[in-house]
Amino acid sequence: MGQTMAEKLLARAAGREAVFPGELIIVKVDLALGNDITAPVAIKEFARIGVEQVFDRERIALIPDHFTPNKDIMAAQQVKLMRDFARQQGIVHYYEIGRMGVEHALLPELGLVLPGEVIIGADSHTCTYGALGAFATGVGSTDLAAAMATGELWFKVPPTMRIVFEGTLPPWVGGKDLILYTIGRMGVDGARGAALEFAGPAIAALGMDGRLTISNMAIEAGAMAGLIPPDTVTEAYLRGKARRPYAVIKGDADAPVQAEHRWDVSPLEPQVAAPFSPANTHPVSRLAGTRLDQVVIGSCTNGRLDDLREAAAVLKGRRVHPHLRLLVIPATQAVYRQAMQEGLLEIFAAAEAAISTPTCGPCLGGHMGILAEGEVALATTNRNFVGRMGHPGSRVYLAGPAVAAASAVTGTITHPEELK
């Protein structure tokens, strides 16, 4: 009997020939990640363990991105704790503002997350790296501390659920729409405790930025990981980036899965998730005309270069609605610079958008875009829970960058085709 991709990845890391769903195993971690919210807790727990040195100073990444640039004294203290720990331990991969980015966009860009590996991060959207063929999942800060000390962590082997996207992607439909559609069909706990594996012609047609978006939001369906088998797109993306040798691991064709869903995406409209759940998903036409106060384009979900290009294509020659504010946040410093070289930032500035240095910022209601009571936002971020972006009496809709840009022009939720 064959093994799924998730099972093979975990078996490699556990030094086993095979593992099976439900087993508890100890695996070796290829990279451990923390940010300015979770790493300080892990650092304090690491000190309590009594280990003097991290297991490998090149296998830990510390990235302050949530409340940076530091929004207040407490945020500054958190980052200082990380910075001091990184210097004391000689941690190679510490990246602060000016050299950094939103963690789940930065690590793939730097070639630090690779096919065949097991990646853990004290952040729920660590599952992003499954788009590169790694088993990547979020853990708690105490688990991060243990991994920093030992290089190992325990896992319960998950069952696999496979999503096959058939057909051809329509115009303006991309990775964000596919994952919102998936969450809408499955619910926020439809893949609870499972590894979601995405495949099919629509996946093959996506670039890496779109694939990273899909894996990023696997957690919103309750999944432990969101995997996309590596292919020529993966190899092309990693060429010249990979910091370590890697081995591509794919599942066996005869591997049993818990469930398989096949959906034809050819008739799919751009998707929008209404408050207060990523599963409250509808075609954009059903929510068209909903009044907005703010639009945010960015985050670890949709702040990459292809996202900015798509938004700029909609905004070029147009202006943001006078009753609305548009925030554009490139996900990394490299994305910012490339967007500047391509003239994308000029398009955004001419449209009267506010352009930010890389930060998670408003995504989690951190800063730089907080909503007041009664305000309504549309964002390319990943969550729209009550109070997610500010006041509990505010509301957030989720969509891809094209819908976000079109909506910023009209002041209401809008299909990009309506601007023609």
Q: What confidence tier does 69 reach under pLDDT thresholds 50, 70, 90?
A: very high
Contacts of 412 (CB under 8 A, 6+ apart): 288, 289, 290, 291, 292
Q: Rounded to whole angstroms, how far apart are CA atoms 42 and 53? A: 14
Contacts of 13 (CB under 8 A, 6+ apart): 27, 28, 29, 30, 117, 118, 135
For the chain, helix (H) and strand (E) counts, in that order, are 15, 18
CA distances from 113 to 123, 228, 383 (A): 15, 14, 24
Rounded to the nearest 10 degrees, what angle do helices 208-216 and 305-315 cross at? 100
Q: Rounded to whole angstroms, how far apart are CA atoms 73 and 53? A: 29
Give burial (CB, 10 Å; 0-12/13-18/19+) of 167.
Answer: middle
- Containing 215, the helix (H) or strand (E) segment is helix 208-216
Q: What confidence tier does 205 reach under pLDDT thresholds 50, 70, 90?
A: very high
Q: What confidence tier does 1 reach under pLDDT thresholds 50, 70, 90?
A: confident
Q: Are 413 and 290 in contact (CB under 8 A)?
A: yes
Contacts of 265 (CB under 8 A, 6+ apart): 165, 166, 167, 168, 169, 170, 173, 178, 181, 202
Q: Is the pLDDT of residue 402 over 90?
A: yes
What's the whole-number mean pLDDT along residues 90-100?
94
Superfamily of domain 5-262: Aconitase, domain 3 (3.30.499.10)
Contacts of 103 (CB under 8 A, 6+ apart): 33, 35, 61, 63, 65, 121, 123, 300
Q: Are strands 93-94 and 60-63 parallel, antiparallel or unpaired?
A: parallel
What's the whole-number mean pLDDT along residues 54-64?
97
Q: Is the pLDDT of residue 420 over 80?
A: no
pLDDT digit string (tens) for 253-272? 999 999 999 999 999 999 99
In the chain, ranges of CATH 3.30.499.10 domains:
5-262, 271-419
Q: Domain 271-419 adopts which CATH fold?
A: Aconitase; domain 3 (3.30.499)
Q: Locate all alpha helices (DSSP H) within 15-135, ordered by sequence.
A: 39-49, 73-89, 103-109
CA distances from 200 to 171, 174, 206 (A): 18, 14, 10
Per-residue confidence (pLDDT) for residue 91, from 0 to 100:
97
Sign (positive or negative) of CA dihedral 43, 123, 138, 62: negative
Query: What is the residue type of 76?
Result: A
Q: Are 405 and 324 in contact (CB under 8 A)?
A: no
pTM of the complete model: 0.96
* Nearest Cα residue to 102 out of 316, 297, 386, 295: 297
Return phi, psi of residue 71, to 5°.
-90, -20
